[in-house]
Structure 1
Amino acid sequence: MLEVDIAIRRGDFRVEAAFRSDAPIVALFGRSGAGKTSLIHAIAGIVKPERGRIVAGGRTLFDSTTRTNLPPESRRVGYVFQDALLFPHLSVRANLAYGESLTPASERFIDRERVLALLGLTPYLERRPANLSGGEKQRVAIGRALLASPRVLLFDEPLASLDGARKAEILAYIEILRDELKLPMVYVSHAVEEVTRLADRVVVIAEGRVIAEGDVAGVMSRPELESLTGRHEAGTVIDARVASLDARYDLTTLEFPGGTLIVPNIDALPGEPVRARIRSRDVSLALERPTGLSIQNVLAATVREIGSEFGAIVDVTLDLGGTTLIARITRKAADELGLAPGMRLHALVKAVSIDRRSVGFA
């Protein structure tokens, strides 16, 4: 369990936030400058709050009423920064050894060989950071943090400086760590796809305040948060399970209350829970079930609500047997279809629009 209820002042900017979570990965989501980094700096002990309380795993790290303020080196909190921040003059082996040295041998519970195997670091042990790619550096930074045997692991925008391929690589490693080590993590990001894929719970931060908190599917589907997720990325997160794999066409079928989705193949077995993020702009509507088209996902739906208009655009909230889906169409299309609450129709979603970045493991 992680409990945070603090107030922080950074110059003219004030952060007042309270949340608690026992989820394996809780994400702090919001735009740059919202106060996310200030919060994890407070958890790590880099910043001292004006008031409040921070408890991690039943251990009080900070409490203004009792004047408790453990120093960073005593908090047993691992920190992975946006930039790897490795010691440039030390080899990978020595950087990892530094992390291990931060915790007395009697208190270490993370095995070095297991970390090397999980992160695939053995081939790089004698290299120095200058001879590593961006993704390799971040894997070493994660390994260094893990070998300090932390009680909680903090990630501060760890993918921000990486290209698409390296981002996918690190995301996969973080998933492995989540599943193998069962170590609580706090993941800071302003990227919807990262939060959807990794987090179990999300805390949305704006202007130093918590404006939403809850399960990822519920929070990241809320239309009123569109200003933070971005109109281009606005959409719905659906909780589903892997139903079957199609080796011939390299496709995966997901099932959820209200229907099924066909998506490009994902690395998951039948029965595994996953989340699929469907952007509103990738959903089309048809009054009759269409035939003779390439779109693989045709879902029976009922119009629940026709939202506010944004110039030429309107968002239509659909009910798929208890699961929400939002379609973004033109006002002209809405008028031509004669849309109204309670109308039955079909939602069309291209399988290729739900790519690997849009599917996360629940």
Structure 2
Amino acid sequence: MPPRASTAAASASNGRNRSGITPRKHKSARKKKRPFGWQLLKLAFATGFTVSVLAAGWFFLTPSGNEYRYMLADSLITTQHREWAKYIIGEKALRERVALYVKQFEDMGEERDTHTIPTSPDQGDPAAEQPEKLTSIEEVDGEGYHGYLLTVRDPKKIRLVVPNKRGRGEKVSSMVKRTGAIAGVNAGGFSDPNWKGNGFKPIGLVISQGKIYYNGLGSNNSVQIVGIDKNGKMLAGKYSVDELMDLGISEAVSFSPRIIVNGKGLIPNRSQGWGIAPRSVMGQREDGAILFLLIDGRQPGYSIGATLYDAQEILLEHGAVIAANLDGGSSTVLVTENGEIVNKPSSKSGERYLPTGFLVFDDPDAVEIPNIWAGLKPSEIDAGKW
């Protein structure tokens, strides 16, 4: 019989103890249990993923989702990030959408306007102790937007004002303070390379006091304009320069589309209102009063913006018989006496430098508006140089 030591050694070498049971090998540290917060995080992730999948399905595969998708794309098209819309509707659809805009805007300017206004706009009862003011401002609110409506009771008190220095545009607040105006709003569009334009190169026509200050039409025979003739009647739609001169145009800029003509709205519904954005729109009532609608946007919690259909409906409710779009977006601004800004412009840098503004004066004939583009060719103007 072998000695006990040898037996013990053999047992040990076989990994067994004297009872014949193999001992367990203990790990140096047990696996830690995940904390409760981690479980919550996983649940939140799973929930978020599920919701995202469902939202994407609604966004791309349902009629209501498609309507919202195109409205969102339209809203981007009106911003300085137009190219982002291709990630929502595709590059081909983006090109088609922009081309559709151009065609529809042209079509909306074709019908000839036949509205008339009194030869002497109503200035209220002259016997009243407190005659009605020339201007008034009221706030307007709707689904997701906040804005202001400026009413000018005598359209002949409005002048198109331009910057007083060459090389860059001018803020409307500066124009108002410099000229002593009662109020002012932004007017026409301008060349804006990389959305850093200096505001000095207008698009299309600029007409002030019946004179052409700037003509960037090139070979185009006609253009969409928004303005006022010498009798105070608002003109909006597609006209040639000769037609405008024959009609006695006084103040005008190029912009589109016209959204109301002969008392009827041209945009059938909100989904065709060209997206949600800050808006500047000009209209006129039968009594001759001019309406400037300014709606803020791109500011969640305050005002996201409005469609052109929203603007159209607001102006129809206030009696407009004609109305047309002005340059909105980050250019939208409403200024009162002493250059006080009433609204909240959406530009991160604040109020923009612009080439034109519609300003209201007690005595517009006393205001001198020099033509800073005299002698300049559009091709000679660098829109991006400050």
Question: TM-score normalised to the size of structure 2?
Answer: 0.22
| Larger strand share, 1 or 2 | 1
Structure whose CA Rg is larger: 2
Question: TM-score normalised to the size of structure 1?
Answer: 0.23
